[in-house]
Amino acid sequence: MAFRANYLKKGLALALTLATALPLLGGCASQNKKMETSIFAMDTVMNLTFYGVDPEAALKGVQEELVAEIYSLEDKLSATEEGSELYALNEQGQASLSPETAELLTQALELCELTHGALDITAYPAVLAWGFTTGDYRVPDQAELEQLAAGIDYTQLDVDPERCTARIPQGMAVDLGAVTKGYAGDRLARQLEQANITSALLDLGQSTIRVVGSKPDGSPWRIAVQDPAGEGYLGVVELTDLAVGTSGGYQRFFEQDGETYWHILDPDTAAPARSGLTSVTVVGPSGLVCDGLSTALFVMGLEEGTRFWRSHPELEVELLFVTEDGTLYVTPGMDEMFSLAQGYEDREVQVLQ
Ligand code: ADP
Ligand code: MG
């Protein structure tokens, strides 16, 4: 019942469908069922698909647990929702945290450090000033931007993962928008594995994807990568048991006086990051890392981003950069997974070493 109330609270329609049963190899009696649901959460549309063996009630139970987990994370991690742990931290300068929030803040801070602040989860006052949270867009003047940039500094955020507490100086604020969907994908994948589900495609919106296993027929999942300069798809990444994060200036932006301003900010300037890239796609074992890194690499640009990739093999990520002139740059592992879509065959693809 609490589950249902949660839906009503969100005012969402749940599309719960049981798709056609697929025959299993060997023709045994049990059948692989496709479970599919769409929800609106974390300011985006999410599509969760998985395949499992009957009984149907058990599969529905798994599906409900996935949806409940997303809403539970949103309730804790939203920067805008009054009553969330993050809201309390930003309002009061300190907060008690659930283990999940403490874990995500700790891991996000590690990524901020690893990327030397290209990812900085204390950019929130600047995100607010540009109106990206509310849609009341405005262009702050130079003096305001300088003041905002001076206030972005993740090292001022203090998280105690043992006590599950966090503190932040007055005037500063945290926003986990760059990492939450990737983290949610990791948690959902774990839930599915615990339920012995070995085939799932979790589309967490805004090009944040997590796949579990392969397709029911054993072939890899095929994930489309959007053309940042158009409506179509540049190509497809084929993968098994991995996460994907894409960040691009086309995902959330506004235009004023002929200029385009997007939602990924350079923490050094508090203004939209203009690094010569139009999108970055990151594939790897951790959704949190893929999500956070796609944002950070978009800020860094091609050269610095490539250097970062070379010096961090432990992250096991593969990258696809798209530059403003439309050229694609891929790491060797990405080159193996990626193929250009129809209509894009003439696109230049450079392999990074
Ligand atoms: P999306 O949310 O569209 O998938 P990202 O994962 O790239 O895109 O995250 C962008 C969000 O992260 C922004 O909406 C903003 O809230 C926040 N943000 C913007 N710039 C930065 C940055 N340099 N570091 C950390 N968070 C950022
Ligand atoms: Mg991101």
Distances in Å between the alpha carbon of 337 and those of 97, 157, 224? 39, 38, 12
Coil vs helix vs strand at 152: coil
Is 226 near ligand 1, meaning CB less than 6 Å away? no
Name the more confident of 224 and 230. 224
For residue 119, the CA-to-ligand 1 centroid distance in Å is: 8
Q: How confident is the model at residue 3 (pLDDT cuts 50, 70, 90)?
A: very low
Q: Is the pLDDT of residue 29 over 50?
A: no
Which pLDDT tens digit goes with each residue over 56-103?
899 999 999 999 999 999 999 999 999 999 999 999 999 999 999 999
Residue to mutate (ligand 1; options 174, 264, 294; most atoms within 8 A of CB): 264
Contacts of 68 (CB under 8 A, 6+ apart): 3, 6
**Which atom of ligand 1 lies at the shortest distance from residue 252's CA?**
3
Q: How confident is the model at residue 31 (pLDDT cuts 50, 70, 90)?
A: low
Which pLDDT tens digit goes with each residue over 163-197?
999 999 999 999 999 999 999 999 999 999 999 99
Is 177 near ligand 1, meaning CB less than 6 Å away? yes
Which ligand does the CA of 111 lie closest to? 1
Rounded to an integer, the average pLDDT of 242-269 is 95
Is 206 near ligand 1, meaning CB less than 6 Å away? yes
Specify burial of residue 46 (Cβ count, 10 A radius: 0-12, 13-18, 19+). Answer: buried
Which ligand does the CA of 269 lie closest to? 1
- Asked which of 5-19, 280-294, 335-349 is least confident by mean pLDDT, the reply is 5-19
Q: How confident is the model at residue 247 (pLDDT cuts 50, 70, 90)?
A: very high
Write the single-letter amino acid at 198.
T
Closest CA to 331 of 304, 310, 301: 310
User: What per-residue confidence (pLDDT) applies to 30?
Assistant: 52
How crowded is the C-beta side of 62, counted as CA atoms within 13 Å?
Answer: 27
Which pLDDT tens digit goes with each residue over 41-64?
999 999 999 999 988 899 999 999
Residues whose CB is under 5 A from ligand 2 (ion)? 178, 247, 291, 294-295
Coil vs helix vs strand at 326: coil
Give dist(CA 32, CA 16) in Å, integer. 16
Is 267 near ligand 1, meaning CB less than 6 Å away? yes
Give dist(CA 76, CA 313) in Å, integer. 32
Is 115 near ligand 1, meaning CB less than 6 Å away? no
What number of other Cβ atoms are within 10 A of residue 158's Cβ? Answer: 13
**Which atom of ligand 1 lies at the shortest distance from residue 179's CA?**
6
Closest CA to 78 of 172, 162, 203, 181: 181
In contact, 127 and 263? CB cutoff 8 Å: yes
Is 299 near ligand 1, meaning CB less than 6 Å away? yes
First to last CA, the chain: 54
**Which atom of ligand 1 lies at the shortest distance from residue 119's CA?**
24
What number of other Cβ atoms are within 10 A of residue 321's Cβ? Answer: 29
Q: What percent of the chain has pLDDT over 70?
A: 91
What number of other Cβ atoms are within 10 A of residue 135's Cβ? Answer: 8
Give dist(CA 352, CA 333) in Å, integer. 10
Which ligand does the CA of 208 lie closest to? 1
Q: For the whole model, what pTM was predicted?
A: 0.91
Give dist(CA 247, CA 296) in Å, integer. 9
Write the single-letter amino acid at 278.
T
User: What per-residue confidence (pLDDT) applies to 19?
Assistant: 32
Which pLDDT tens digit goes with each residue over 337-353?
999 999 999 999 999 99
Rounded to an integer, the average pLDDT of 195-201 is 96
Which pLDDT tens digit goes with each residue over 107-132?
999 999 999 999 999 999 999 999 99
